Structure 1
Amino acid sequence: MRAQIKPTDLPSSAPGQLVRDFIANPSFPCVGAKSALNKGRLQLQEFGALGDPAFTPALHAALLRYSQDHPAPGMVPVTFIAAFERELLDEHSFEQRLWRQLQALHEHDCAHGIAWSPEVTDDPERNEFSFSVGGRAFFVVGMHPGASRLARRAPIPCLVFNFHEQFELLKHSGKYTGMQDAIRKRDIALQGSINPVLARFGESSEARQYSGRAVEAGWQCPFHSKAKQDA
């Protein structure tokens, strides 16, 4: 019988602790997140409902502080998790909320004259795309209770922000492939297969991976960059 991560198995506690317990579960496959948690390099902050514009300024400010705290993160995993109000969403609803939140963060950047990171493209159809907040590029991972993938089935909706530059450093050092292979083996042990939307870093647009849903071949990312329009 395959191991499973069930939010209902986790102790009843504060939302942030529920997320930490979810990552600490022995069957959770992401070794990078586990490393960040164990080394005290995982930052977590709680907000209201995912996609609610009232919380965008606070989330934006938190991500700016996170970037300032880690100007040169190196190769030891570090991550920021935005934990949102508890609610059960299906995969399509979560995907819509995720992109609504990211669009709002981008528009907050634009309203304050903050440019897109020069390290990546703002076109989600291109392989070089990565999300940008405060001029810094991030790989975003969505997790929520309604996810079909057990590795993404967090007890509350979350957005995980990882520095794009860390992936680049790991890739150039030769360590990225080993980490990715370890995660895939653990994912297979957890669910019997790897997430079909996963791709190696830089081989397809990472926008397809953000929500965790197995998006269709002709899927169109709902994100629209205003940085390009304002240029």
Structure 2
Amino acid sequence: MPTPATPMFPWRHRAQGDFQALLDAHVAAAEFPCVGAKAALAKGTLSVLACDRIDSAWDDLRIHDGLLNFAADYRADPGLFRSFAVIFGGPDDLSEEAFEAALWQRAQSLSDKDHWRGQGYDSGVSADPDSPHFSLSFGGEAFFIVGLHPRASRPARRFAQPTMVFNLHDQFETLRAQGRYEGMREKILVRDEALAGSRNPMLARHGESSEARQYSGRAVEDGWKCPFSYAGTPD
């Protein structure tokens, strides 16, 4: 009798190429506002992992393995404009609230596995989601998540498949050190405003307010509480 995983492998093989092509075309579109993602696409450093469902833990170990490898590769050869996109086969009809809940379920599960596998939390950020210095940490590296899905209210967050894009926090710090961060941020905001007709009210600089409010793309209310809780004790 085949194992439960057996039927998944042909699907993954097909989806990997399809999802990579889908994301590449989405980022390459003239109206797509994130110039950092466009730079990653041009450099060939926009990586994709095809997974089953965003509301299932089925692929969480595969995702965590990918994050550990991504972090290790970055430490071995630091460079700007790299992203790790986890693209899910469904569901494609989640409301913004349901997508947000699923995104944080995956983030919590991945963080728990990071702790279970003995990975330390990046000391440059906070594990407290209420802190203005919060970031998630995997493999000892801080990450900022950008959620994309079909029913996102902001056009820049609207994509055919539920997706979690993991961006290394260290890249933002490098851009700041090079004096390029503010100019790039403003360029993205201007492009996003041209696409949506208004600037995203959720965007804030790291250190001003918790970046957890930005991950799902939903305009969260003032009293919103992040459902994430780190299982370990950060150094």
**Normalized against structure 2, the TM-score is what?**
0.88
Please give the secondary structure, in 2, of the residue aligned with 1:47: strand
Change (3 A) 1:214 1:52: same
Match of 1:177 in 2: 182
- CA distance in structure 2 between the partners assigned to 1:187 and 1:123 by the alignment: 29
Match of 2:11 in 1: none
Please give the secondary structure, in 2, of the residue aligned with 1:124: coil
Match of 1:62 in 2: 66
Please give the secondary structure, in 1, of the residue aligned with 2:75: coil
TM-superposed CA distance for 1:88, in Å, is: 1.9
Give the number of aligned pairs: 218
Please give the secondary structure, in 2, of the residue aligned with 1:167: helix
State the AA in 1 paired with 2:22: L
- CA distance in structure 1 between the partners assigned to 2:183 and 2:68 by the alignment: 30
- CA distance in structure 2 between the partners assigned to 1:25 and 1:31 by the alignment: 11
Runs (5+) with no aligned partner, structure 2 = 1-16
Q: Percent identity?
A: 44
- CA distance in structure 2 between the partners assigned to 1:22 and 1:215 by the alignment: 25
Indicate yes or no: 2:116 matched with 1:107.
no
Q: CA RMSD in A?
A: 1.6
- CA distance in structure 2 between the partners assigned to 1:53 and 1:108 by the alignment: 11
TM-superposed CA distance for 1:225, in Å, is: 1.0
**Normalized against structure 1, the TM-score is what?**
0.90
TM-superposed CA distance for 1:51, in Å, is: 3.5
Which of 36, 42, 45 in structure 2 is aligned with 1:41? 45
TM-superposed CA distance for 1:20, in Å, is: 1.5
- CA distance in structure 2 between the partners assigned to 1:50 and 1:119 by the alignment: 28
Moved more, 23-32 or 110-119: 110-119
State the AA in 2 paired with 1:222: P
- CA distance in structure 1 between the partners assigned to 2:193 and 2:160 by the alignment: 21
Asked if the contact 1:79–1:160 (Cα under 8 Å) also holds between the matched residues in 2, the reply is yes
The structure whose RCO (Cα within 8 Å, separation 6+) is larger is: 1
Trace 1:71-110 onto structure 2 (pairs within 5 A): 71=75, 74=78, 76-86=80-90, 87-110=92-115
Trace 1:1-231 onto structure 2 (pairs within 5 A): 14-71=18-75, 74=78, 76-86=80-90, 87-228=92-233
1:66-123 Cα offsets, whole Å, 9 max, x none, are 1122116655311111111132211000000000000000111122222211111100
State the AA in 2 paired with 1:29: P
Moved more, 68-77 or 146-155: 68-77
Q: Structure 1 runs of 4+ off > 6 angstroms?
A: none
Asked if the contact 1:197–1:208 (Cα under 8 Å) also holds between the matched residues in 2, the reply is yes
- CA distance in structure 2 between the partners assigned to 1:60 and 1:148 by the alignment: 28
Match of 2:12 in 1: none
State the AA in 2 paired with 1:122: A
TM-superposed CA distance for 1:186, in Å, is: 0.3
